[in-house]
Amino acid sequence: MSAYFDEIMEGLNDSLEHAKRNKKLRTHTVTVRPAPKYAASDIKNIRIKLGFTQSNLASVLSVSTKTVEAWEAGTNTPTGPSCRLLGMMDADPELPRKCKILVGK
């Protein structure tokens, strides 16, 4: 077999032995903060900070423009992935451009 296969099999076997408590492996604990919650005014402020229209923000988040309108009106609230992405873009307004989500200027 290939060297990659052998390396993968070694890792899998190590994991099995670790699960059976026959082998001690290095572990790392990672804590992920919960996604923030956003009020209607927060979403609008983030959108304006980004220089986006409602349609732009909808495209970046892969939701409909009606969804963004409802969030900003306070009719609905974003959940999970949308909240996480809003938080990331709020922290770094250049993120959509850095990730090449936006094309052009």
> For 46-80, how does the pLDDT look when each residue is reduced to its tens digit (9 = 90+)?
999 999 999 999 999 999 999 999 999 999 999 99
**Mean pLDDT, rounded, of the chain:** 93
Which pLDDT score is estimated for 104? 61
- pLDDT, average across residues 39-49: 98
Kindly state whether residues 66 and 86 are assigned to the same domain.
yes
Which pLDDT score is estimated for 105? 53
> Quick check: 89 pLDDT over 70?
yes
Kindly state whether residues 48 and 67 are assigned to the same domain.
yes
Which pLDDT score is estimated for 26? 87
Confirm whether 55 is domain-assigned.
yes
Domain region containing 92: 40-98
Kindly state whether residues 47 and 90 are assigned to the same domain.
yes
Nearest residue to 25 via CA among 33, 17, 34: 17
What digits encode the pLDDT tens for the residues 16-37?
999 999 999 888 999 999 999 9
Kindly state whether residues 44 and 26 are assigned to the same domain.
no
Kindly state whether residues 5 and 50 are assigned to the same domain.
no
Domain total of the chain: 2
Kindly state whether residues 9 and 45 are assigned to the same domain.
no
Q: 75 to each of 26, 40, 68, how far by Cα in Å?
A: 47, 9, 10
Question: How would residue 94 be classed by pLDDT, with cut points 50, 70 and 90?
Answer: very high
